[in-house]
Amino acid sequence: MKRIAEGEVQKAAERFIDYMRLERGCSENTAKAYISDLKIWFAYCKENGRDPLDINADAVSRFLILMQTEGRKKSTVQRAGAMLRSFAGFLQYDGVTENMPHLAPLPSRTKTLPQIMTEGEIQRIINACEDGTPLGKRDRAVIELAYGAGMRATEICSVRLRDLDATNGIIYTRGKGGKERTIPYVGTLRRNIEEYIHTYRPMLDKHGEEWLFLSKSGKALSRETLWVLLHKRGLAAGVPASRLHPHVLRHTFATHLLRGGMDQRTLQMILGHSSIMTTEKYTHMDTELRDSYDKYHPRAKYKH
């Protein structure tokens, strides 16, 4: 078995936790729990001479059984299984491994509705960016791109100026697994990005950078800075902190398009999903949200 340097393992773990915090929007408590679970997994692999980045069904099964025999709570074992599933998916996403392993399904848990913003909340966040500064214009362009094009945080931070075809209103990007795809950006989104590029970005570009979005220091925008700016503008707009994550903007984009009548296949192409089943979750999400509205809203029965 190929030996992986301990430093490489630690760096992969750190990138995974950053990914879960900044792109998947997990809470700080969940992040801390995942760090604890990772340490247990790494110790198990070291003791058994395994590569901790080689996550397969047999190894995960043995690991979880060991946790059970040690008397750990069922919820703790289930969380560790969920962490390893997410870690395996991240390693593929990050290019460390080539294929996602086929892991046994976890026991079902109580479903909770995903976080989605309203159109009014989106507009309030955008309005909160209008402070007349280059950073405010950058923040507005970032948020409008996340919501108006459904791009992931990593994709937004990786856009270069040459990736934009302003004539046709197209952005060329690489999604999960390095897959290339084109994303349309039109209307108000396009106008605001062009305004940012031509009027405000030059005020931030201190080093002749190629990236579309720049930090205050003139370097490429990081995922952490993207999360911070969304959090700052969202709180100023009165939006709950639990919804202030880049992936919530992407979920909102998809849900709003489905409500507007877009078919699933077109949405699948825009989001860059390799499987239609991944896209279908937004249909289920929208149905559940509507069912909850019908059940709890006092005027729902009068809507027809």
- Provide the pLDDT for residue 102: 66
Residues 218, 210 contacting (CB under 8 angstroms): no
Average pLDDT per 10 consecutive residues for the chain, totaling 304 residues:
64 90 82 91 90 87 88 86 89 79 57 74 96 96 93 91 93 75 89 96 96 96 93 95 88 86 80 69 57 50 43
| C-alpha closest to that of 39 among 62, 5, 63, 75 | 63
Sign of CA dihedral 96, 102, 107, 111: positive
- Provide the pLDDT for residue 303: 43
- The residues that are catalytic are 152, 176, 247, 250, 273, 282
- Provide the pLDDT for residue 73: 85
The pTM score is 0.65
Give the C-alpha separation, 162 to 275, whole Å.
29
Give the C-alpha separation, 152 to 142, whole Å.
11
- Provide the pLDDT for residue 302: 42
According to DSSP, the residues that pair with 172 across neighbouring strands are 182
Residues in the chain: 304
- Provide the pLDDT for residue 4: 52
